Amino acid sequence: MDSSGRRDSDRASNRLVRSPWLIMAAGLTATAIAFALAPRIHPDVAHTGEIVALTGIIVSLLCALVTRLLVPSSASRDDSRRRLHHDELTDLPNHTGLDVLLEEALAHTRRNRKVLGVLYCDLDRFRIINESIGREAGDLLIKEAAKRFRSGIRGSDTVSRVAGDEFVVLSGDLDNPGTLPQIARQILQEFAAPVALDSGDVLITPSIGIAHTHPETPTEGRLLLAEARAAMERARENRIGFAVFDDEQRSEARTLVDTGERLRGAIEDHDLHVFYQPIIDVEHHSLSAIEALVRWNRPGRGWVAPEGFLDAAAGAGLMASLGEMVLKEAIAQTLIWSSTYWPDLDIATTVNISERQLMDSTFADQIEELLSGIGLDPRRLTLEISEDVVVSQLDRSLDLFRRLRASGIRLAIDDFGTGQTSLSWIERLDMIDYLKIDQTFVNGLTTSSVNLAIVEAIVSMARAVDMEVIAEGVETVEQYHLLRGLGITRMQGYLFEAPMRAVDFEARMEQEVLSSV
């Protein structure tokens, strides 16, 4: 809907908001007329007139009350719209708000044959800094960054916060793109001075990627964002402050956007499916748990694993809807299997949770509503969060983790060992049940003494805080024996079973082939 359409809708809604009093006034007027005319029409209807009057008054009051309750006021609608489109911490437009601003800016640019610039900005080393200074200081740092972005741009430009430490600047009404590097330099200048916190001065610097429209070539908003993000990645890798998107990166960006759009259609057309891989208790030669893994049945390419489309999903803003789809299907399937195959066994299904889902303030409510709605015991569900997400959102997520664990849901840290491994923050995660060793370490067990030492250290760390270790990506008997030697009793990988569709998983259970090595 365009802006004029929204204004017409708002005016109509405002009239409707005022209408309860009009409805009541009209009803009372009609009732008074009916009461006055009833005896004149026929003497026998005098009492009927009183009944009509009383009924009219009651109906008028009820109509006014119901209309007032059901129709939101303009103020409440504006407040809801603002919460939907703005980041709570910085009050900047969020990812949803950026989508609206970008489409409006592109339309204005096309009409006036101007240039629109997009600057995608990421704060360098923010996650490491955030871990060391704590949540409150990290929030202050983000607020200060938002303030400096505002100071570094022109008055007509806008800045949005689209993720934890990612910001996007829209710079429109340009005659040529030559102004954009100047804006980038001004932003970098704003970050030259350290931020003063109670714990000491902290220096943060952004990496900036620049992309822009061409007056002669129509550009889609998602493609423009993908181009700016690709340039930002190059600026960060080369530590050069900012980089401008060029033709060498165009093919990669277009592929990412195309994949994102196809993925959006795949979600709508139900071409994404949940596969299931068993986690084996090798000590007791039994099924310990199941991991739900999404696969895309992409036309012409067959089944595509998440590594082939998660970046595109993140760029297209699809991580939350993708995660919700997997979660709903996995919960429904777990209810069937737990009641049919293992009603008396302690077996749960593990589902991966994205950073975007964790940042949703209603996430815990959504989980609890899903479980209660379908009637699944919360102990049958394990939520798996990657280590880098846990580290970046640690202070913000501790209360969430405690609430989920208190409800009976189990928690696991995935890809452990690939991020900022630290006993100091592991000790704070007393509600976590499992650490999952990343398969890159498992793959290197037989060829690298360093990998073996890392896995041994992880096992020792987990035991110190009473967490159980799961090794994933186990593919060879040699890896199996090395892991067993380290005391790891829960494993998953192609050595045992490949991920499979629900119907195939059921067939395997019925054939009782989930056996030991």
Q: Which residue has the higher pLDDT, 446 or 40?
A: 446
Please check whether residues 335 and 383 belong to one and the same domain: yes
pLDDT tens digits for 342-373? Answer: 888 899 999 999 888 887 778 899 999 999 99
Domain-ending residue, one of 78, 102, 121:
78
pLDDT at 495: 94
Number of Cα atoms under 13 Å in the Cβ half of residue 20: 14
Over 60: is that where the pLDDT of 8 sits?
Answer: no
Give the pLDDT mean for 129-140.
Answer: 77
Over 60: is that where the pLDDT of 72 sits?
Answer: no
Q: Which residue has the higher pLDDT, 213 or 34?
A: 213
Burial of 238 (0-12, 13-18, 19+ CB in 10 A): exposed
Give the pLDDT mean for 367-395.
Answer: 88
At 153 the three-state DSSP class reads: coil
Which residues partner with 275 through β-bridges?
Answer: 293, 501
Specify the range with the lowest mean pLDDT, choosing from 3-12, 257-266, 270-279.
3-12
In the numeric block, which tokens belong to residue 34? Answer: 């009916």
Domain presence at residue 201 = yes
Please check whether residues 109 and 63 belong to one and the same domain: no
Please check whether residues 329 and 286 belong to one and the same domain: yes
Q: Please give the residue range of the domain that contains residue 221.
A: 86-245
Please check whether residues 93 and 11 belong to one and the same domain: no
Please check whether residues 36 and 92 belong to one and the same domain: no
Residues contacting residue 204 through CB under 8 Å, at least 6 positions apart: 123, 124, 125, 126, 129, 141, 145, 191, 195
Over 50: is that where the pLDDT of 75 sits?
Answer: no
Give the pLDDT mean for 315-336.
Answer: 90
pTM of the model: 0.61
pLDDT at 515: 44
pLDDT at 4: 36
Q: What is the CATH number of the domain that holds 176?
A: 3.30.70.270
C-alpha span between 374 and 386 (Å, rounded): 27
C-alpha span between 103 and 298 (Å, rounded): 29
pLDDT tens digits for 468-492? Answer: 999 999 999 999 999 999 999 999 9
Please check whether residues 308 and 433 belong to one and the same domain: yes
Percent of the chain whose pLDDT exceeds 70: 79
C-alpha span between 227 and 251 (Å, rounded): 10
Give the pLDDT mean for 263-273.
Answer: 90
pLDDT at 12: 38
Q: Which residue has the higher pLDDT, 283 or 416?
A: 283
Domain presence at residue 250 = no
pLDDT at 256: 76
User: Could you say which DSSP state residue 493 is in?
Assistant: S
Q: What Å distances lie between residue 168 and 164, 244, 251, CA to CA? A: 12, 14, 22
Q: What is the CATH number of the domain that holds 399?
A: 3.20.20.450
Please check whether residues 218 and 101 belong to one and the same domain: yes
Please check whether residues 56 and 145 belong to one and the same domain: no
Q: Would you say 207 and 175 are in contact if contact means Cβ atoms under 8 Å apart? A: no
Give the pLDDT mean for 133-153.
Answer: 88
Instruction: Give the best-scoring range by mean pLDDT among 64-73, 475-484, 504-513.
Output: 475-484
C-alpha span between 345 and 288 (Å, rounded): 9
Q: Which residue has the higher pLDDT, 164 or 266?
A: 266
Phi/psi for 490 (5° steps) reads -120, 125
Domain presence at residue 476 = yes
Give the pLDDT mean for 411-432.
Answer: 75
Please check whether residues 65 and 165 belong to one and the same domain: no
Domain presence at residue 517 = no
**Total tally of structural domains belonging to the chain:** 3
pLDDT tier, 69 (very low <50, low <70, confident <90, very high otherwise): low
Burial of 226 (0-12, 13-18, 19+ CB in 10 A): buried
pLDDT at 236: 87
Domain presence at residue 69 = yes
Q: Would you say 295 and 304 are in contact if contact means Cβ atoms under 8 Å apart? A: yes
pLDDT at 15: 42
Phi/psi for 434 (5° steps) reads -135, 145
Domain-ending residue, one of 78, 102, 124:
78
Percent of the chain whose pLDDT exceeds 90: 39
pLDDT at 491: 96
Domain presence at residue 259 = no
pLDDT tier, 247 (very low <50, low <70, confident <90, very high otherwise): low
Give the pLDDT mean for 263-284.
Answer: 92
pLDDT tens digits for 76-105? Answer: 445 555 557 788 889 899 888 999 999 999
Over 60: is that where the pLDDT of 292 sits?
Answer: yes
Please check whether residues 294 and 224 belong to one and the same domain: no
pLDDT tier, 28 (very low <50, low <70, confident <90, very high otherwise): low
Instruction: Give the best-scoring range by mean pLDDT among 125-134, 216-225, 377-386.
Output: 377-386
pLDDT at 9: 38
What is the per-residue burial (b if ≥16 Cβ within 10 Å, else e) of 6-16? Answer: eeeeeeeeeee
Please check whether residues 228 and 277 belong to one and the same domain: no
Q: Where are the beta strands (DSSP E) in 175-271?
A: 195-197, 200-202, 206-212, 242-244
Please check whether residues 288 and 371 belong to one and the same domain: yes
Q: Which residue has the higher pLDDT, 9 or 439?
A: 439
Give the pLDDT mean for 224-240.
Answer: 88
What's the whole-number average pLDDT of the chain?
Answer: 81
In the numeric block, which tokens belong to residue 438? Answer: 């990343």
At 280 the three-state DSSP class reads: strand
Q: How far is CA 271 from the centre of its chain?
A: 20
User: Could you say which DSSP state residue 111 is in?
Assistant: H
Specify the range with the lowest mean pLDDT, choosing from 122-131, 166-175, 306-315, 338-347.
122-131
pLDDT at 379: 95
Domain-ending residue, one of 46, 78, 110:
78
- Angle at which helix 319-340 crosses helix 502-511, to 10 degrees, equals 30
pLDDT at 457: 87
